[in-house]
């Protein structure tokens, strides 16, 4: 699944408060050329949303903001194919690995990155990227950790996309600008599809 994430280069980070909107969201993502979603455990509708999106065979769905082993298990049962956590929790990583799920733990310090490597992790989430120095910090961290790849989220936008995706150590980024909560809540398929297509085009124009 990590190969699929890196192939798309952008992971829409979805906050959905009504699972009834999931079908329209899935349609918009696919139509916009970005058939991937990280559904965050920030609302009570997360599991139902993952379940609905996972029914599609043309969409890769994962769970984000995963804070516990219980959430890993609930996400897996719902059909999530990858797990994203804001921080590094060894139990979350190990349970995800045991279930055959790719996992991206959040790491922003050298110590956290070293702990992740001991758990067999070579691709980490860098969150919140904007608050921890963004692309400049990642470039500095990539010097001693040349075997680690970073997927930054938090503060990533079209305006700074090239700063991130232009680095060889950054195979993909995560963001919510192409899936605004207001558009999801309104079932505004056209807006989401348009923003996804715009993001895809921008990423395609960026060379390493």
Residue 172 CB-half CA count within 13 A: 23
Name the residue among 71, 74, 67, 1 with its Cα closest to residue 36. 1
Q: Quick check: 198 and 33 in contact, CB under 8 A?
A: no
Roughly what angle, to the nearest 10 degrees, separates helices 90-98 and 69-78?
A: 30
Q: Which of 125, 168, 207, 208 is catalytic?
A: 125
38 in catalytic set: yes
Q: Which of 23, 38, 70, 208 is catalytic?
A: 38
27 in catalytic set: no
Quote the distance between the C-alpha of residue 48 and its chain's center. 18
Going from the C-alpha of 62 to that of each of 69, 118, 163, the distances in angstroms are: 15, 23, 25
Element (H, E) at 63: strand 60-64
Name the residue among 63, 106, 95 with its Cα closest to residue 82. 63
Known catalytic residues are: 38, 125
């Amino acid at each position: 699944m990590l190969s699929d994430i890196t192939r798309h280069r952008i992971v829409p980070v979805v906050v959905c408060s009504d699972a009834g909107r999931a079908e329209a969201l899935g349609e918009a993502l696919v139509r916009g050329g970005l058939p991937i979603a990280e559904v965050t455990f920030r609302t009570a509708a997360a599991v139902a949303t993952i379940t609905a999106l996972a029914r599609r065979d043309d969409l890769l769905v994962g769970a984000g903001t995963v804070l516990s082993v219980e959430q890993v298990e609930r996400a897996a049962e719902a059909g999530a194919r990858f797990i994203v956590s804001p921080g590094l929790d060894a139990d979350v990583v190990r349970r995800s690995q045991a279930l055959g799920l790719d996992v991206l733990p959040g790491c922003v310090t050298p110590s956290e990155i070293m702990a992740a490597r001991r758990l067999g992790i070579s691709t980490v989430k860098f969150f919140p990227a904007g608050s921890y120095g963004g692309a400049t910090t990642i470039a500095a961290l990539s010097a001693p950790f040349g075997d680690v790849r970073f997927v930054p989220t938090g503060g990533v936008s079209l305006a700074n996309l090239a700063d991130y995706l232009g680095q060889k150590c950054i195979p993909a980024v995560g963001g919510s600008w192409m899936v605004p909560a207001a558009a999801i809540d309104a079932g505004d398929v056209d807006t989401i599809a348009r923003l996804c297509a715009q993001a895809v085009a921008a990423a395609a124009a960026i060379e390493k």
